[in-house]
Structure 1
Amino acid sequence: MTYSGNVTPGGTPAVRELDGLTITKVSVGPMDNNAYLLRCRTTGEQVLIDAANEAPRLLDLVGEAGLAAVVTTHQHMDHWVALEEVVAATGARALVHEEDRAGLPIEAQTVAEGDTVAVGRCALEVIHVRGHTPGSIALLYRDPAGVPHLFTGDSLFPGGVGNTDQDPQRFAALIDDVEHKLFDRLPDETWFYPGHGDDSTLGAERASLPQWRARGW
């Protein structure tokens, strides 16, 4: 089945098979959060992006293969409700940016701009994207056999950047980082996976950047 990225709470996960990495996207309730399980196809090592909710469902997805790490894209509670239970059950490392660490319910190791998170023989590059929260991050997988894949948390969605509570300074930081760290660095073919809702590509959104900046949200 062709991967579309369309998932619903309680529905069937969407699975994308790359040469080196399997991406499984699932939506969990009650806020229709996306969680992403990444598995190295060579070693079987797995990493979860955002243990948002429904810990039993996420643990079923992880299965007997275990979990090396859980990366939390930012400190908002709807992205970590299941974190403590998933970490306790799997022994996975909890990872978050230093500036959002205090917002998590458990102790976590910190990551910073330019760090990499290993998924077996694959690697995710950490990109610090300020504005939605002080320590929001995106995670970039540069597929050697295909297009880049970018996990954006709540910093970038189809149709605009994340919520900055009508704070002009936070919005300026977010739109600047999204434009310069993501759109300026990566090609149109880059597929991105947000914290809620459907996926998109940078190419599908690029022409709207001036409109986003002008409207201020």
Structure 2
Amino acid sequence: MSPEYSRAIGDGLTLTKLSVGPMDNNAYLLSAGGEQLLIDAANDAGRLLELIGPAGLRAVVTTHRHSDHWQALAEVVRVTGAESLAHADDAVEIPVVTGTLADGDTVEVGGHVLEVIHVVGHTPGSIVLSYRGEHLFTGDSLFPGGVGNTRGVKENFASLIDDVEHKLFGRFADGTVFYPGHGKDSTLGAERPSLPQWRARGW
């Protein structure tokens, strides 16, 4: 199966989206200036390595600890020698982590900078990566139609909806595109009117 798309999202920065594994996880490859960064080595290591190709890989960022997002991580890191990065609060449950991230940290690829935004609720160490505030890689914290699953735990839902509302919708414009861990992309503008409904329904 070929990538869903490959397109430029900045000067010299290309984004390629690939759905992998039985749970249709999205893996995102960012390429610029001869460097590449992978967001979520979720599954199908062979397909991911084919996508990465001879250019190699600078780093893999894992958005959160849930196992469907790192099934291919150990193999991809072994073959490419890439760094493996995740938030410190989730790193202990991810099989290979060579460096930890915190809110406000940055990750670079080919001179392009992505900001780490910590959003608590789906897991303790879930992160969103922001590129210029115009593109957000949200893992399982934000989808078209709602925030990520908090398994009926009210405190976790309250934390997640607060973080998503304040740290994402409160900071970024309607035209900002977000790329979730499963399914289709959307924009903050398309989802913003539904925020009160999400909060009221509690999931």
Give the shorter-chain TM-score range.
over 0.9
Q: Using the alignment, how far apart are the partners of 1:82 and 1:174 within structure 2?
A: 27
Aligned partner letter, 2:115: E
1:159 aligns with 2:145: yes
- 1:192-203 alignment to 2 at 5 Å? 192-203=178-189
1:84 aligns with 2:74: yes
Check whether the contact 1:98–1:111 (CA below 8 A) recurs between aligned residues.
yes
Match of 2:130 among 136, 140, 145: 140
Say what the alpha-carbon RMSD is for the aligned residues: 0.9
- Deviation track 1:1-32 (CA, whole Å, cap 9, x = no partner) reads xxxxxxxxx34431111323100000002100
5+ residue gaps in structure 2? none
Q: Using the alignment, how far apart are the partners of 1:139 and 1:205 within structure 2?
A: 18
Aligned partner letter, 1:124: L
1:116 aligns with 2:106: yes
Q: Using the alignment, how far apart are the partners of 2:95 and 2:171 within structure 1?
A: 34
Aligned to 1:211: 197
- Deviation track 1:169-217 (CA, whole Å, cap 9, x = no partner) reads 0000000000000000000000000000000000000000000000000
1:20 aligns with 2:29: no
1:66 aligns with 2:56: yes
Shift of 1:112: 0.5
Match of 1:180 among 145, 155, 166: 166
Aligned to 1:125: 115
- Deviation track 1:97-148 (CA, whole Å, cap 9, x = no partner) reads 0000011112331010000000111011000000000000000001xxxx70
Q: Using the alignment, how far apart are the partners of 1:127 and 1:107 within structure 2?
A: 18
Q: Using the alignment, how far apart are the partners of 2:143 and 2:40 within structure 1?
A: 16
TM-score, normalising length from structure 2? Answer: 0.97
Shift of 1:55: 0.2
Q: Using the alignment, how far apart are the partners of 1:156 and 1:168 within structure 2?
A: 17
Q: Using the alignment, how far apart are the partners of 1:100 and 1:12 within structure 2?
A: 28
Check whether the contact 1:20–1:122 (CA below 8 A) recurs between aligned residues.
no
Check whether the contact 1:101–1:108 (CA below 8 A) recurs between aligned residues.
no
Aligned partner letter, 1:13: E
Match of 2:45 among 42, 55, 59: 55
Aligned partner letter, 1:58: L
TM-score, normalising length from structure 1? Answer: 0.91
Flag the 1:150–1:107 CA change in 2: closer, same or farther, 3 A: closer
Q: Using the alignment, how far apart are the partners of 1:20 and 1:126 within structure 2?
A: 21
The total of aligned residue pairs comes to 202
